[in-house]
Structure 1
């Protein structure tokens, strides 16, 4: 005779399959009188079904098989999916430290006596085997009758009372059970119909019991003939209809309303404690604790919260089940340093709306982790529906918390020390990478690549400009081929505040961190992670990184503002355009030495006055904005005095006095200024003076080069200085090169560009070239003379007389 017992069922491949599977296995083992195995069997079933649903994506078939003839007897649980090409994840440690998926079969290895994977042509079967101890009489595992009372005497009374406990409805079955007709019972108070003595450890009154969301227990009710009838009551309070509903049966038929046995968490606590003795990464250990607590409690989700530095904040360290995308600290009053006893909340919405939204839960039970009298964290179980838990669950949670609190706290402190060192190293690397970067787009790109793939699967950086406009600046995915799709899925220009954006739903949990500094938002860092929760350490690390990024963005903004100011100042200090000169060709090169600057100590000008042209090339001692202030004074003074028909000598004299009146110590000016008067035969008559400036060089058509002005005293040194002019003819095809000392004193080690008349030699090879070509050749020579960039401003002016 075949003594093997088999029970099977099938589920769709939906997220609800693990819950249905747990219920099925618990029911089957109860019928087979194997409830002592239910805890481990339900945990293993949940993991196998979850693996099948997540990694195969098909419907699953669940089979429980009991072989009572084996020695010892064996219970096997099999899960078949319909995707044989898929392989189940290995039981070994995850390849990445932050990865939490794929640990289900690690539990199988710990709890089952054997497990394996069997492939068929149409399915893949994952099975676990549990040996039954010799002390269990499985031969007598047939279900016994629930009660000796005859089924004909079963009456299920339904009584509805309002919020004051007054009966409003009384069904015929209640009349058969208690003798009261509906017209006799309706309008009476339940207190007159129930002989209430209180139940449970707190001995609640009947009024308090009616206020509970859910209650079951024994009671005695008054029969119409005056006797007391032992009954079993299942109470449910409906907050929407503001009434209490009682289902009542005789005590002999209590099994009809008795709930299935509550999960026994004591064994789970011992199993978790055993895990602490294994060499397991701390994050994986916490994930396993959360997973076992969630499955054993029957909740939708479970969390391990740990105290942050200071002890008055608690952050999510691990989560299991239908966890929400939680970040760092839970800012709520439910978890606080003053709570040192277990807590059960029937409806979280009535207590803390923000926390209910964060956890996406209505029911909550938690127990503190107390280590050495200090609160180290919490074990938390949640459910989407209200009134899911009872006081017995909180007691079991506290039992687990008491066993694991001290070892977890010890490992936590060691992990904090490692995480602190890693955090400092990461932030130092980020600071070094971002240092000196003044481009917002580059900062956004570097930020995204800092967090991918170390912290997130993908990252996006939004930037907010001075006008308050926010835009998507950069995206980066760990798989670069997904970058384009990621950019399309994210809003390019959010229409709401970044904290209120509904991010696209996908396989990753999406989290947003603001980029704030000095009270101003520079945008946000948005990341996607495969893990449903973000540990507190990572949340703090990302917050520090965002502050660092925001500070660099603020610096880049100030730099951009300064660059804009420099450009505006440049437009006021340098001529917008060079005046055209019939019969003459001109070219200008102007390059400030300071990085990012647009103006400096060198300046030039070329403009018309009546029937002739004036040109000027000057160099203020120093560079940057300070020198630019004197540059503006000098250029505008030269132009204004020339327009008033002052001679070149008079211009030098007036400008010399103006600089001395400024009274700024050590601010001197070298200036080359001249007038060009066209000649009838072509070319121009040049009247020129040089105050401490490199002399201009005249290039003849035959390649000969001559200096054309004598050096005189710098402007701004002596008030009694007298200046004079020199005159020469600039004939057709001749070229005049005027430069500042940024050209002649370009340095390569101990050698200068103009050593040994180097500039004259360079110019002699430019015979026959246009003014622009000569200017470009000199500029290139200055740039390539040394490997280091020029340390002084460079300005040069080329004027060439054209043939008639």
Structure 2
């Protein structure tokens, strides 16, 4: 790799190729007196060998046209056709006897400039300076374009992260890749946990930093100033888990960014010598800002998700009834991939006719869906408390939905468990079929169902089933069993198989189902398990 340079006039490493010792001496002496470093080669073969050795490349090659083993034109062509040296500027130099055609040939075959001996020192140095100025400007432009390309790529990656740990890792990886050095990133998660991620370079000049490692910090290393408007290193703190090339505060560049004044900042640390121009400063600032905004998006998502969950849980029953006819257990799991409120719900109420249990799902994920869910659940309780049978409850809910929320649809399964007999009354409005497990472990679905609520269609009579004491009733919403690219019948079969091996206690059965059928987080889950006790006798 060519040595970096701060300015167009700073010294360079220059290769001089000439078979005449006197000419090499004159050229090298002139260049050294101007502050440049010079390496010498006496023929084309030696020059190409020097260029193939690992390490810093010269910034310019001055090549005599008349070499003993090959022409300077051939040396130039080899340099320009080799990817590692293709950007190396070549200045051809020749005796005054060279023809115009030779000079034209040299330029056409890749030379960046052409000098004719004897060369005045001022002309040599002016040509070298002009060539360096162009080459360095081109390298800076190419490097900036490459860094901007990487910045664009990693900005998309930052906004695609789904948690703070992934975000801090991608930030450190981006800084290391863009600037080609060890890097670290620090942030505070929405839960208040400080994280640091760093790459590690075990030797100077390593071009591929390691995959970032993420650690939890015991405390945030910066403190607020008296105005509370910014964090300040006072002096710069001992930062944990930094790679060796960033341990010394004098040799690292630290940038902080925050989305709001009250937020803890995102901090990016890289090697100081990787930032040499205002363009580099701008790229580093943009990377830090992109990470800051991505963290703010994660924080907003976390806050909205928590608010949605709190609101949704406020629409669900606070407690389940204690009823001698059955033992109940429920689980409600919100969709982890959504901030929107869902419409899954459950209900259980003791009535004069028996114990009524229900599980339903309002179509959609929104505040409107949650509000409809609340209306349906409270109306369900009212109709059940009035003593209506399940099919009448569904018919009345359908009429209510058509009247107050036209266009909304709801699936709902309602079961009445009689007190004085082993009879169950099941009415299903387009919901997943309830699953029953007999005391001997055999299972069966009750597939009969009517239309969804909200369509204004008639509902069939409730299905009557006899269930022995010790039987389990399992009611679920689709978030538990439906999976992308999986047939529903296959999913129902997996549910039946899992229930057949579940414990007899409702709480234990719920835990068993969630363990063996873990939701994928794409939808809410409502799960109710009912264990029947013996009917009362008079």
Q: Number of aligned residue pairs: give it.
A: 425
Does the alignment pair 1:734 with 2:471? yes
Deviation at 1:707, TM superposition (A): 5.1
Which residue of structure 1 lines up, in the alignment, with residue 438 of structure 2? 700
Deviations 1:688-730 (A, max 9, x none): 4222334434333244545558423321111x73664455554
Which residue of structure 2 lines up, in the alignment, with residue 668 of structure 1? 409
Which residue of structure 2 lines up, in the alignment, with residue 216 of structure 1? none
Which residue of structure 2 lines up, in the alignment, with residue 762 of structure 1? 497
- Tell me the distance in 2 between the aligned counterparts of 1:424 and 1:782: 45
Does the alignment pair 1:423 with 2:147? yes
- Tell me the distance in 2 between the aligned counterparts of 1:703 and 1:465: 46
- Tell me the distance in 1 between the aligned counterparts of 2:531 and 2:194: 52
Query: Which of 434, 437, 440 is matched with 2:158 structurally?
Result: 434
- Tell me the distance in 2 between the aligned counterparts of 1:560 and 1:704: 43
Provide the aligned C-alpha RMSD in A. Answer: 5.3
Deviation at 1:423, TM superposition (A): 0.8
Which residue of structure 1 lines up, in the alignment, with residue 196 of structure 2? 474
Which residue of structure 2 lines up, in the alignment, with residue 461 of structure 1? 186
SS in structure 1 of the partner of residue 265 of structure 2: strand
- Tell me the distance in 2 between the aligned counterparts of 1:532 and 1:694: 60
Checking the alignment, whether the CA contact within 8 Å between 1:738 and 1:796 is kept in structure 2 is: yes
Which residue of structure 2 lines up, in the alignment, with residue 801 of structure 1? 532
Does the alignment pair 1:582 with 2:324? yes
Checking the alignment, whether the CA contact within 8 Å between 1:515 and 1:550 is kept in structure 2 is: yes
Query: Which of 210, 213, 221 is matched with 1:491 structurally?
Result: 221
Which range moves more in the overlay, 490-499 or 654-663?
Answer: 490-499
Deviations 1:187-236 (A, max 9, x none): xxxxxxxxxxxxxxxxxxxxxxxxxxxxxxxxxxxxxxxxxxxxxxxxxx
- Tell me the distance in 1 between the aligned counterparts of 2:320 and 2:236: 56
Query: Which of 114, 120, 137 is matched with 1:413 structurally?
Result: 137
SS in structure 1 of the partner of residue 356 of structure 2: strand
Deviations 1:266-309 (A, max 9, x none): x99960479799999999979xxxxxxxxxxxxxxxxxxxxxxx
- Tell me the distance in 1 between the aligned counterparts of 2:189 and 2:413: 48
Which residue of structure 2 lines up, in the alignment, with residue 339 of structure 1? none
Which residue of structure 2 lines up, in the alignment, with residue 509 of structure 1? 251
- Tell me the distance in 2 between the aligned counterparts of 1:449 and 1:104: 33
Deviations 1:522-554 (A, max 9, x none): 614242536497433321221221122123122
SS in structure 2 of the partner of residue 563 of structure 1: helix
**Structure 2: 5+ residue stretches without partners:** 17-28, 42-49, 61-124, 203-212, 238-247
Checking the alignment, whether the CA contact within 8 Å between 2:181 and 2:270 is kept in structure 1 is: yes
Which residue of structure 1 lines up, in the alignment, with residue 490 of structure 2? 753
- TM-score, with length taken from structure 2: 0.61
SS in structure 1 of the partner of residue 282 of structure 2: helix
- Tell me the distance in 1 between the aligned counterparts of 2:528 and 2:337: 22
Deviations 1:631-684 (A, max 9, x none): 33322332344345555444323321221124543x3212112333544xxx76
Which residue of structure 2 lines up, in the alignment, with residue 369 of structure 1? none
Deviation at 1:766, TM superposition (A): 4.4
SS in structure 2 of the partner of residue 478 of structure 1: coil
Change (3 A) 1:465 1:774: closer
Deviation at 1:616, TM superposition (A): 1.1
Change (3 A) 1:714 1:523: same
Checking the alignment, whether the CA contact within 8 Å between 1:98 and 1:283 is kept in structure 2 is: no
Q: How does 1:198-347 map to 2 (within 5 A)?
A: 271-272=34-35
Change (3 A) 1:540 1:733: same
SS in structure 1 of the partner of residue 321 of structure 2: coil
Checking the alignment, whether the CA contact within 8 Å between 2:344 and 2:525 is kept in structure 1 is: yes
Checking the alignment, whether the CA contact within 8 Å between 1:766 and 1:774 is kept in structure 2 is: no
- TM-score, with length taken from structure 1: 0.43
Checking the alignment, whether the CA contact within 8 Å between 2:257 and 2:292 is kept in structure 1 is: yes
Which residue of structure 1 lines up, in the alignment, with residue 302 of structure 2? 560
Which residue of structure 2 lines up, in the alignment, with residue 656 of structure 1? 398
- Tell me the distance in 1 between the aligned counterparts of 2:220 and 2:442: 67
- Tell me the distance in 2 between the aligned counterparts of 1:706 and 1:526: 59
Checking the alignment, whether the CA contact within 8 Å between 1:586 and 1:771 is kept in structure 2 is: yes
Deviation at 1:617, TM superposition (A): 0.8
Which range moves more in the overlay, 591-600 or 708-717?
Answer: 591-600
Which residue of structure 2 lines up, in the alignment, with residue 691 of structure 1? 429
Change (3 A) 1:410 1:424: same
- Tell me the distance in 1 between the aligned counterparts of 2:254 and 2:409: 55
Deviation at 1:493, TM superposition (A): 4.3
- Tell me the distance in 2 between the aligned counterparts of 1:438 and 1:105: 47
Change (3 A) 1:503 1:475: farther
Does the alignment pair 1:541 with 2:283? yes
Structure holding more strand per residue: 1
- Tell me the distance in 2 between the aligned counterparts of 1:768 and 1:489: 45
Does the alignment pair 1:614 with 2:334? no
Deviations 1:139-189 (A, max 9, x none): xxxxxxxxxxxxxxxxxxxxxxxxxxxxxxxxxxxxxxxxxxxxxxxxxxx
Change (3 A) 1:760 1:549: closer
Does the alignment pair 1:713 with 2:456? no
Deviation at 1:801, TM superposition (A): 1.8
Which residue of structure 2 lines up, in the alignment, with residue 236 of structure 1? none
**Structure 1: 5+ residue stretches without partners:** 1-92, 110-132, 134-266, 287-400
Change (3 A) 1:98 1:442: farther
Which residue of structure 2 lines up, in the alignment, with residue 75 of structure 1? none
Deviations 1:437-474 (A, max 9, x none): 132343223323433484555534244979xx9x8532
SS in structure 2 of the partner of residue 413 of structure 1: helix
